[in-house]
Structure 1
Amino acid sequence: MNMRASKEIAHAVRAAVEAAVWAPSVHNTQPWCFAVRGDEISLRANQDRKLRVADPEGRQMLISCGAALFNTRIALRALGYEPEVRLLPDPDRALLLATIRPRAGTRPDEHTRLLHAEIERRRTHRSGFMDLPVPEPLIKALVAQASAEGAHLRPVQSEAAACILAAVTSAAQDVESKDRVFNLEMSRWSMPPGSSREDGVPARSYPGTPRPTAPQHFAQRDYARGQSWGSEDEQHHSTATGLVAVLTTPGDSRDDWLAAGQALQRVLLHASAYGVSAAFHTQALEIRELRDFLRQRLCSNEFPQMVMRLGFALDEARSVRRPASEVLEQE
């Protein structure tokens, strides 16, 4: 390999890691770290950022890391490389989730460029949406995006099913809000106004005065913990529920969780390109009995990995992320 090619690959590897850190993660915990050795990127889970109460098995941690993996893949493709990915390559190293190498590829197609452009623009929404329906052709396209990564996006078209999901979410929120240990864990990732931290959920990203969504009300996390935090910006004034959807996988292994994360991010980036944001509701999926109920009653016995609402919103709040230098080790 000549010097120029070596420098170009080094640049691509660095750009891929810089793209990875913009992935969504549960409570913006950013539970990943990367190592680079030559042209190989290693993606590892960061156990120090795992939610030990809400996520004891690490399912949400691996979904978050799967989203970061997808960003890595799409960034390399946007630079003209084909990512060679090995998932869970070493059974003796449980935290090593994937290795990625850039291989000779082709010029990126239009869809790759479309997704890549949304990596830093995508935002997580934490309130209601404008009263505009998500177009049916876009819904079908989002379903296809999830399928391309081995997962299923299930739009909830039945009002009764949407009401059930809202009720189960509210029940889970009530149970968790009364758990002192759970609340202590949440407080680690709830940032007060003016915080300079580059992880966790900033106070400006959720409404100071929550408004119930309609026609179904989905309970929101109480990041303010009873304090007068939150934002009163216009982006939080809308109250429509939006399109309710559940992301599922046929199995529930570590491979499935990584596939769910990649599918989730592919869906989110495609949606973002058309002005659609997502609000996540993971409460019911953190309680085994409720997750089993949803699997058996609403998900055709597939495993629910994410409950979300999709819709149009004025998402202008800046996202916070740790810089790539904080999560990257050079070997």
Structure 2
Amino acid sequence: MMRVQPQENTVTTLVAEAAMAPSMHNAQPWRFHFVTAERLLRIRADTDRAMPRSDPGDRALHIGCGAALFNLRVSAVHAFLEPHTALLPDPRDPSLLAVVRLTDPADPAGTPSDWELRRLHPAITRRRTSRQPFSDKDVPENDRASLREAAAQEDAVLLFPDRWHVETLIDLVRDAECRDLVDPEVGEDMTRWTRLGSEADSAPDGVPEYAFGPRRRDGKAPVRDFAGRRPVPNRGSAVFERTPLLALLSTRGDGPADWLRAGQALERVLLEATLAGLSTSLTSHPLEHRELRLLARDPISGVGHVQMVLRLGYGPDVPATPRRPVHEVLTID
């Protein structure tokens, strides 16, 4: 069979969909480089978008890039390409997080694993991070089982903790919030990546004020208030869920490769949740403090290292947050 090079517009589409992934404060800390002759797409960390105060080890940066990598895999299979992925391929170049070789599939119809990835493709553009109140309607066990299986397929574990540990997680969030208030340097990252006023309508990255959600008047949902003490005109308050459904995403190890796997598992779970009609948000706040992160693991059934806390439920539709133009994140040789 003759090898056909992926066209430039195909690669552009792959990267545009990869970049729909979530990242801490929507910093979008990735860059892509496509080597046409080798059909090789390199994913690099954009260290200019790192967060030294709240993510000093770049764990969250790796998770965000891992989520983008998963979207890329889904998009490639949807385009009838076969993505062969290697994580951290060059120990001498730690900012090179992954390489993906795009080949023609041996079977154009694809394998069962290809079908599973292709099924997730519509969710890439539909997925949102919602900081709105969710209803207290319970998520059925079959949907929870599908989310657990999604994480397992990416070598991670998704655990729905018991109510008593949910209360512990909520307390950890409050503890993290209090620590941030007494340490003004910690707020530098959030200030850098939040967009207020006219900037909210024009900035290609960060969290715009329309995505802050209302202030919490009551309820226990762990939702970070990106406004902090800054006034946001016409922003109301609302009652959030009293018994939020939280899930812990964990990996066995806790190094850069594990963080990239966690990002892929996270995005697979989020896309699966989107197809199930669920709203989602991410709560990394207590994980940004080492001593609190150790307490986030469920001491009874938890395993490994907690990489993300997810909040799931049924909520209203919310607008997408902005994305950088593809030409800013992709180079083609």
TM-score by length of 1: 0.91
- After superposing the two structures, state which structure 1 stretch, 316-325 or 204-213, moved more: 204-213
Q: Could you tell me which of 211, 226, 231 is aligned with 1:228? A: 231
* Aligned counterparts, 1:1-331, within 5 A: 5-6=4-5, 8-38=6-36, 39-105=39-105, 106-107=108-109, 110-156=115-161, 158-195=162-199, 196-213=202-219, 217-229=220-232, 239-295=241-297, 297=299, 300-331=302-333
Offset of 1:280 from its aligned partner? 1.4
Residue deviations 1:19-70, cap 9 Å, x none?
1110000010100011111121100001110110111110000000000000
Distance 2:315 2:234 in 1: 15
CA contact (8 A) 2:133 2:239 kept: yes
Offset of 1:112 from its aligned partner? 2.8
CA contact (8 A) 1:203 1:231 kept: no
- After superposing the two structures, state which structure 1 stretch, 268-277 or 9-18, moved more: 9-18
Instruction: Classify the secondary structure of the residue corresponding to 2:144.
Output: helix
Distance 2:42 2:132 in 1: 35
Q: Structure 1's 296 and 272: CA in aligned 2 closer, same or farther, altered over 3 A?
A: closer
Residue deviations 1:71-122, cap 9 Å, x none?
0101001111110111101111110001111112233565333311111110
Q: Which runs of 5+ in 1 are unaligned?
A: none
Distance 1:136 1:231 in 2: 38
Distance 2:180 2:109 in 1: 48
Offset of 1:316 from its aligned partner? 2.3
Distance 1:330 1:233 in 2: 45
Instruction: Classify the secondary structure of the residue corresponding to 1:165.
Output: helix
Match of 2:134, as an amino acid?
F
Instruction: Classify the secondary structure of the residue corresponding to 1:34.
Output: strand
CA contact (8 A) 1:224 1:230 kept: no
Match of 1:281, as an amino acid?
T
Match of 2:331, as an amino acid?
E
Q: Which runs of 5+ in 2 are unaligned?
A: none
CA contact (8 A) 2:221 2:240 kept: no
Distance 2:277 2:26 in 1: 21
Q: Structure 1's 240 and 113: CA in aligned 2 closer, same or farther, altered over 3 A?
A: farther
Q: Structure 1's 91 and 299: CA in aligned 2 closer, same or farther, altered over 3 A?
A: farther
CA contact (8 A) 1:28 1:200 kept: yes
Residue deviations 1:198-220, cap 9 Å, x none?
1110101122432333xxx1443
CA contact (8 A) 2:250 2:304 kept: yes
CA contact (8 A) 1:133 1:242 kept: no
CA contact (8 A) 2:128 2:279 kept: yes
Offset of 1:12 from its aligned partner? 3.2
Instruction: Classify the secondary structure of the residue corresponding to 2:53.
Output: coil
Distance 1:274 1:177 in 2: 37
CA contact (8 A) 1:31 1:65 kept: yes
Match of 1:303, as an amino acid?
H
Distance 2:229 2:34 in 1: 43
Distance 2:267 2:236 in 1: 26
Q: Structure 1's 175 and 273: CA in aligned 2 closer, same or farther, altered over 3 A?
A: same
TM-score by length of 2: 0.91
CA RMSD of aligned residues (A): 2.1
Q: Structure 1's 243 and 135: CA in aligned 2 closer, same or farther, altered over 3 A?
A: same
Offset of 1:134 from its aligned partner? 1.0
Q: Structure 1's 120 and 233: CA in aligned 2 closer, same or farther, altered over 3 A?
A: farther
Instruction: Classify the secondary structure of the residue corresponding to 2:20.
Output: coil
Offset of 1:221 from its aligned partner? 2.1
Match of 2:88, as an amino acid?
L
Offset of 1:176 from its aligned partner? 1.4
Q: Structure 1's 231 and 90: CA in aligned 2 closer, same or farther, altered over 3 A?
A: farther
Distance 2:225 2:150 in 1: 31
